[in-house]
Amino acid sequence: MAWTREQMAARAAQELGDGFHVNLGIGIPTLVAGLIPPGIKVTFHSENGMLGMGPFPYENEIDPDLINAGKQTITELPHTSYFSSADSFAMVRGGHINLSILGGMQVAENGDLANWMVPGKMIKGMGGAMDLVAGVRRIVVVMEHSEKGGAPKFRHRCSLPLTGAGVVDLLITDLGVFDIDRKHGGAVLTELAAGVTLEEIKAKTEADFAVRLR
Amino acid sequence: MQSKVYADASSALAGVVFDGMSVMSGGFGLCGIPENLITALRDSGVRQLTVIGNNVGADDHGMWAVLANGQIKKVLASYVGENKILERLYMSGEVEIEFNPQGTLAERIRAGGAGIPAFFTRTGYGTAVAEGKETRQFDGENYVMETGLVADLAMVKAWKGDTEGNLIYRKTARNFNPMMATAGKVTVAEVEYLVEPGELDPDGIHTPAIFVDRIFRGTNYVKHIERKTTRQRPAPVSATGAV
C-alpha cells in the first residue's frame, strides 16, 4: 500500500496557509489547486504573468490571450492581476511567493533537486523551475518514491543535473514525508503513508534520514 | 517628425533586417507572439539569426516558420518543447541553444533595456547554468552574475497602440513583450487596434512610446491555442428538483 497521486496531492495541500501566494508545477502539484482546505484563501501565481488564476473556462469562455504557464486556457477572478514576465519573476526572485509545489526526478538529503533534464535525451529547457526553487520561500517536492525500475529517487546526491542546490524544504512521496534542512543538510522522516512500514521505506531509500514520526 | 506608422509588417521591417542579426520576439508559447512580424521576417529571407525569446514557436506555429526556413543559427530560450524541427536541428548541431532560466531571461532583457550591463541572481547557483560565470556572496547568500541583453531588432505584439507608439497589452499576452520593447536597437510593434493619440488612457499605458520606433496594425491573427482546456458545465437541475 502507498499513497495515490491524489493522496500525495492532498498531503501537499496541507502545506497551504491562509493568504498564501502559491505557484504549482505541472503533474501531481496541479491537483493541489482543487484541494484547498476550507476556510483558507490561496492565490495562485502563474509565471507567465498572472496572479489569481481561476478555473478552466467553459467552452464559450475560451480566450487565447489567457493561458497558464502550462499553456492551458484558464479564467480570471475578481482579484486577478496581469503583469510582465519581469514583474512575475520579481515576485519569485524577491521572495514574495510563499510556497511552490513542484515535481521532481531526484532529491538529495542536502535538499538538492533535479527535475529539468536527463543527459542524452532532448533537453526541453528549465522554464521557470530554477527561478522558483531559488526564490520562493518554501519548496515542496512531490514525486514517486522510486523510479519505474525500482531505483531510489531520494538519494545521497543527485546524479542528474541540478535544478537547484539546497532548495527543498519538504519531500512528499507515495511512501511518506521527509523534512529537509536545506541550509545545513539532513533529512527527517516525519510521516509514513498508510500501510507503509519503516523497513519498506528504508529499503527503498538511498538517502540517510533520521526518523521522528508524528 | 516622421511618422512611426507603417502599412504592414514587411514595410515595417524594411531596412532594419540583415544577415547575422539578433532578434527578440515577444510571447509565451504562442500567446502574445507578433504573428505578422514573424511571417515578414521569414519572407525577408535574412539568415544566420540569433533569436531571443521564451520559446521558438511550436510545431507549425510562430517562430517555428523561421526556424523551418533555415534562417536561425542560435536561440536563447527557457523552454523549447513541442518543436520537432528544433529538436532535430539542435541534435544535429545546426542550431545552437543557450538555455536561460525563464526569470533570468526576463531580467536580462529588462536589464539590457534599462542600461544595466549585469546583475546578480540566486537562480542557477550550483547548477550547470552558473558554469563559467562569476559568483559572489551577499549577506551569506551565493549569487550568479548574469549579463543584460539587447538585440538589433525587437518584435513585439500589443493589443492596442496609438500612432505615437504607446502600447497596451491584454491579459497573459503581455509576458515578455514589455521588456523586449525596451531592449531593441530598433523596436517594431504590431497591434490589433491602432488608434489616435488621446484615445488611450495615459495612466494605463504599459509601454511608453519612447521605446517603440515603428508600429502597424496587424491582420489575420490566428492566436493558436496549444492546450485548449475546458471544464464541463454543471448538469442542469431539473425543475422538480429531483435527481
pLDDT tens-digit readout, B86-123 = 999 999 999 999 999 999 999 999 999 999 999 999 99
Across the interface, whether the CB atoms of A86 and B127 are under 8 A apart is answered: no
**Average pLDDT score over residue span B178-183:** 98
Residue B67, domain extent: 9-116+149-217
Q: How many domains does chain B have?
A: 1
Residues of chain B above pLDDT 90, percent: 95
Is B202 a member of any domain?
yes
DSSP state of A199: H
DSSP state of A156: S
Across the interface, whether the CB atoms of A93 and B103 are under 8 A apart is answered: yes
What pLDDT shows up at residue A122?
86
Burial call B107-122: b when 16+ CB within 10 Å, e when fewer: bbbbbbbeeeeebbbb
CA-nearest residue to B178 within chain A is A84
d(CA B112, CA A182): 33
DSSP state of B52: E
Using CA of residue B109, residue B58, residue A127, residue A56, what is the dihedral sign?
A: positive
Task: Write down the ipTM of this complex.
Answer: 0.96
Residue A206 dihedral angles phi and psi, to the nearest 5°: -90, -35
CA-nearest residue to B90 within chain A is A122
Across the interface, whether the CB atoms of B101 and A129 are under 8 A apart is answered: yes
Partner residues linked to A140 by β-bridges = A101, A170
Across the interface, whether the CB atoms of B128 and A162 are under 8 A apart is answered: yes
Across the interface, whether the CB atoms of A162 and B90 are under 8 A apart is answered: no
Residue B240: pLDDT band (50, 70, 90) is low
The CATH number assigned to the domain holding B157 equals: 3.40.1080.10
Give B97's contacts in chain A (Cβ within 8 Å). 123, 125
AA letter at B192: E
What pLDDT shows up at residue A166?
97
Give A73's contacts in chain B (Cβ within 8 Å). 225, 227-230
pLDDT at residue B234 tops 90:
no
Closest to B13 (Cα-Cα) out of B35, B29, B37: B37
**Average pLDDT score over residue span B31-37:** 98
Give A161's contacts in chain B (Cβ within 8 Å). 127-128
What pLDDT shows up at residue B233?
86
At residue A31, the 3 state secondary structure works out as: helix
Give A56's contacts in chain B (Cβ within 8 Å). 229-231
Is B99 a member of any domain?
yes
Residue B235: pLDDT band (50, 70, 90) is confident
CA-nearest residue to A60 within chain B is B230
Across the interface, whether the CB atoms of B123 and A131 are under 8 A apart is answered: yes
Give A64's contacts in chain B (Cβ within 8 Å). 31, 223-225
What pLDDT shows up at residue B64?
97
Q: Would you state the cell numbers that stand for residue A123, as one nine-digit string?
A: 533537453
The C-alpha of B161 sits at a distance from chain A's nearest C-alpha, in angstroms, of 17
pTM value is 0.96
Question: What number of C-beta contacts closer than 8 Å exist between A and B?
Answer: 176
A33-46 tens-digit pLDDT: 999 999 999 999 99
* Greatest C-alpha distance within chain A: 53
Residue B243: pLDDT band (50, 70, 90) is very low
The answer to whether the CB of A15 falls within 8 A of the CB of A99 is yes
B35-76 tens-digit pLDDT: 999 999 999 999 999 999 999 999 999 999 999 999 999 999
Q: Kindly state which CATH superfamily the domain A5-211 is placed in.
A: Glutaconate Coenzyme A-transferase (3.40.1080.10)
Burial zone of B232 (CB within 10 Å; 0-12 exposed, 13-18 middle, 19+ buried): exposed
CA-nearest residue to A116 within chain B is B79
Across the interface, whether the CB atoms of A122 and B87 are under 8 A apart is answered: yes
Give B28's contacts in chain A (Cβ within 8 Å). 48-49, 67, 69, 71, 85
The C-alpha of B177 sits at a distance from chain A's nearest C-alpha, in angstroms, of 8
Taking chain A (214 residues) in runs of 10, the rounded mean pLDDT of each run is: 94 98 94 94 98 96 97 97 98 98 98 95 94 98 96 98 98 98 94 97 98 95
At residue A172, the 3 state secondary structure works out as: strand
Residues of A noted as catalytic: 47
- Residue to mutate among B205, B221, B229, with most A CBs inside 10 A, is B229
AA letter at A123: I
What pLDDT shows up at residue A210?
98
What pLDDT shows up at residue B242?
46
